[in-house]
Chains A and B, each alone.
Chain A
Amino acid sequence: MPAIEVSDLRKSYGSLRAVDGISFSVDAGEVFSLLGPNGAGKTTTIEILEGLRDKSGGSVRVLGLDPWSDAYELHKKIGVIPQGFKFLDYPTPREAVGYYAALFGKKVDPDELLKRVLLEEAASTYFLHLSGGQKQKLGMALSLVNDPELVFLDEPTTGLDPQARRAVWEVVRKLKEEGRTVMLTTHYLEEAEELADKVAIVDHGKVVAAGTTSEIVEAHGSGQKLMVKGGPDLEEYLRHNTKLIVEASGGEVTVRLKGKDDALVALKAIEESGAAWSDLMVRRDSLEDTFLRLVGEGAVSEETS
């Protein structure tokens, strides 16, 4: 049984379709990432899965439960770190963990749990005075108090410095090692590539690509390309003397490699051209190239600014 099963999920606010027929499934023990620009419907989707919002249509099962009507049961089995985790001003992380342990009726050693999320050094600092990264780590610690099978992380590293981001990643890797299923939303490609076993790229409330990162690149990327530094004469020569697709920009000539022999043809032509060239390399489309192709550059520059 998959840990999460989503089929044709829909959520509308008036005429706005925030989620417009999303389907995917997540196996137990997997790290699954919803990747997409801001406003793509990631948070709405994840909040429906967490039982915090009702859906407008479609079907959702999380750990075999209906997240909206069985929320009280579900919440005992899942851990959630919401986007931009905030908490009461005055408990210290140690007290906050104690509070959650009492609410869940679990015996938990706060110090040990804080050590697991790398927050032991701030165990006695009021929440008010924690740094952004430390607050996020407390969010992770609280989400683990009930020893959840499934952990949701909504944009866990947004607004964190690179060091704090890496610390959060470290914790996510540990969660996977411990056999927990992790559902992660992010708009950082790097984060999805680092952590996720499987990725679904969402845009405008729809899944536009899904699978492992290499499957997505395979299916939606442009394949391999040969890149070489050279002037317009080189580009001209390749265009007229081969049947390859040639593009040029900024003093760099790119040749798409579709067939098996395309690379050899291109190399031969470059040599025959007699034009000046340097820095030749062959590279495969990255997830970033594919992502940009799928959701458009505008969306990305907008959300990273």
Chain B
Amino acid sequence: MFSFKRVIADLKVFGKGNFRSREGLFFTLVFPIILILLFGAIFSGGSSAPTTVYVQNLDGGPASIAFIAALNSTSAIRLVSAPTSVNLTQYLSSHSSTNGILIPAGFTLAYEEDQPVNVTVYGNPASTTSAVVSGITSEVVNQFNIEGASNVHSVRVSQEVAVSKSYSYIDFLVPGLIGFAVLTSPMFALVNVSSSYKRDKIFKQLSLTPLTETEWLVSKIMWYISMTAISFVLMSLTGIYLFGAQISFSPGVALFIFIGPFMFVSLGMLVGTISNSPESAAVVGNLVTFPMMFLSGTFFPVSSMPVYLQNVARVLPLYYVIEGLTNVMIYGNYASALVDFGVLVAVSAVIFALAVKFFKWRED
């Protein structure tokens, strides 16, 4: 019964229509790139001006002074020393800064005796400058340890708020914004298409041909998988070449480029098909889309959100798309990515089945 030829015939007409309607093309391909340009420009401006970092030296010994000199030799940060009598956190906030380094008392002694000692880096994980500060501090610490008399790595960096040292914000932004595109372009399109086709009786018209509801839906899924693949490539290249994002094109990405659009085409279809008018479909569509758009790790990492919001994020399907993409593109953590993929397969299967069940071209 299912005919691939009919799916292709439908795909051709739908795809051509999408390319001819400029808004469709804009939201599928151009908008995601604009997003990445915008967010990339805002958050990767680290190279243009050095970041001010407040250093509180509670030690004052020769090793601590050498350490500060080493930090100072990098051009990306500008050190300002904070008085030893104040609480550094309060001092930072009174100077509208989130970047600080605390060298504890006994630093020189510990360094000379090769005892472990912690340098604390204060930072804001949602800000790229903090990642830069923490990265630079770690590098200096490494260098410092190597230069240490006995070659024992005794100085450590401890962070008040953890930000992985070698990753920058743009690295997380690329999978996040790809997730954003995976969600929004099929959702908004399908909510609109399914409800307006219903209003204009185009589904009724199509029901008079041998095309089936499932074939129609599969054609839309194939279209949005292709569009997502293209926007994935464009967004990644923009991230890499314009903002120096460190991401990898591993084959595991394909899993999420496939399952993401599959899920959100089905979900958009479901929303459009159970709504009575294009207007109510748009409202329901927004209700479903907006929480996911902001809470799933699109614009900032989920780990930087309060715990209760992190729990909310974990019930949103987009969370697993972005986490999966991050696992594959940044950490190369395939075991976790497979878990994310498994969750998505299960949820999509349910949504697809519901969409097919409720999506009927004929009325009683």
Determine if A95 and B13 form an interchain contact, defined as CB atoms under 8 angstroms apart: yes
Determine if A91 and B208 form an interchain contact, defined as CB atoms under 8 angstroms apart: no
Complex CA gap A87/B207 in Å reads: 13
Determine if B202 and A88 form an interchain contact, defined as CB atoms under 8 angstroms apart: yes
Q: List, in ascending order, chain A residues with CB within 8 A of B363's CB.
A: 52-53
10 shortest interchain CB distances as A-B pairs: A102-B9, A90-B17, A86-B200, A103-B209, A90-B20, A99-B13, A54-B364, A103-B211, A80-B208, A75-B208
Contact flags A72-87 to B (C-beta < 8 A → 1, else 0): 1001101010101111
Determine if A53 and B362 form an interchain contact, defined as CB atoms under 8 angstroms apart: yes
B95 within 8 A of A: no
Q: Which residue numbers of B lie inside 8 Å of A, CB to CB?
A: 5-6, 8-10, 12-14, 16-17, 20-21, 200-202, 204-205, 207-211, 362-364
Q: List, in ascending order, chain B residues with CB within 8 A of A126's CB.
A: 20
Q: How many A-B residue pairs have CB under 8 A?
A: 69
Determine if A87 and B210 form an interchain contact, defined as CB atoms under 8 angstroms apart: no
Determine if A91 and B13 form an interchain contact, defined as CB atoms under 8 angstroms apart: yes
Determine if A88 and B17 form an interchain contact, defined as CB atoms under 8 angstroms apart: yes
Determine if B209 and A53 form an interchain contact, defined as CB atoms under 8 angstroms apart: no
Size band of the A side of the interface? 20 to 34
Determine if A103 and B202 form an interchain contact, defined as CB atoms under 8 angstroms apart: no
Q: List, in ascending order, chain A residues with CB within 8 A of B209's CB.
A: 75, 100, 103-104
Contact flag A75-B210 (CB < 8 Å), given A52-B363, A103-B9: yes
The residue that B204 contacts in the complex, of A52, A90, A105, with Cβ under 8 A, is A52
Q: List, in ascending order, chain A residues with CB within 8 A of B14's CB.
A: 88
Determine if A99 and B9 form an interchain contact, defined as CB atoms under 8 angstroms apart: yes
Determine if B204 and A82 form an interchain contact, defined as CB atoms under 8 angstroms apart: yes
Which B-chain residue is minimally distant from A152 (CB atoms)?
A: B208
Which B-chain residue is minimally distant from A52 (CB atoms)?
A: B362
Determine if B362 and A51 form an interchain contact, defined as CB atoms under 8 angstroms apart: yes
Determine if A105 and B16 form an interchain contact, defined as CB atoms under 8 angstroms apart: no
A89 within 8 A of B: yes
Determine if A52 and B210 form an interchain contact, defined as CB atoms under 8 angstroms apart: no
Contact flags A93-134 to B (C-beta < 8 A → 1, else 0): 001100110111100000000000000000000100000000
Determine if A89 and B21 form an interchain contact, defined as CB atoms under 8 angstroms apart: yes
Complex CA gap A185/B338 in Å reads: 58
Q: List, in ascending order, chain B residues with CB within 8 A of A89's CB.
A: 17, 21
The residue that B205 contacts in the complex, of A54, A72, A87, with Cβ under 8 A, is A87
Given A75-B208, A75-B210, A89-B17, 9 other A-B contacts at CB below 8 A?
Answer: A54-B364, A82-B204, A88-B202, A90-B20, A90-B21, A99-B12, A100-B209, A102-B6, A104-B210
**19 pairs from A and B in contact (CB 8 Å cutoff):** A51-B362, A52-B208, A52-B362, A53-B364, A71-B207, A71-B362, A75-B207, A76-B210, A91-B13, A91-B16, A91-B17, A96-B13, A99-B9, A99-B13, A100-B209, A102-B5, A102-B9, A103-B210, A105-B210
A50 within 8 A of B: yes
Complex CA gap A100/B209 in Å reads: 7
* Chain A min CB distance to B261 (Å): 21
Q: List, in ascending order, chain B residues with CB within 8 A of A52's CB.
A: 204, 207-208, 362-363
Which A-chain residue is minimally distant from B362 (CB atoms)?
A: A52
Q: List, in ascending order, chain A residues with CB within 8 A of B205's CB.
A: 82, 85-87, 142
Complex CA gap A170/B229 in Å reads: 50
* Chain B min CB distance to A181 (Å): 16
The residue that A103 contacts in the complex, of B6, B16, B201, B362, with Cβ under 8 A, is B6
* Chain A min CB distance to B205 (Å): 7
Q: List, in ascending order, chain A residues with CB within 8 A of B21's CB.
A: 89-90
Q: List, in ascending order, chain B residues with CB within 8 A of A53's CB.
A: 362-364
Which A-chain residue is minimally distant from B20 (CB atoms)?
A: A90
Complex CA gap A273/B6 in Å reads: 79
Complex CA gap A233/B326 in Å reads: 101
Determine if A50 and B16 form an interchain contact, defined as CB atoms under 8 angstroms apart: no
Q: List, in ascending order, chain B residues with CB within 8 A of A100's CB.
A: 209
Q: List, in ascending order, chain B residues with CB within 8 A of A95's CB.
A: 13, 16
Q: Which residues of A15-60 are within 8 A (CB) of B?
A: 50-54
* Chain A min CB distance to B189 (Å): 13
Complex CA gap A75/B364 in Å reads: 17
* Chain A min CB distance to B193 (Å): 10
Complex CA gap A103/B5 in Å reads: 8
Q: List, in ascending order, chain A residues with CB within 8 A of B8's CB.
A: 102
* Chain A min CB distance to B17 (Å): 4
Q: List, in ascending order, chain A residues with CB within 8 A of B5's CB.
A: 102, 105
Most buried by B among A52, A88, A100: A88
Q: List, in ascending order, chain B residues with CB within 8 A of A75's CB.
A: 207-210
Most buried by B among A52, A78, A80, A95: A52
Complex CA gap A52/B363 in Å reads: 7
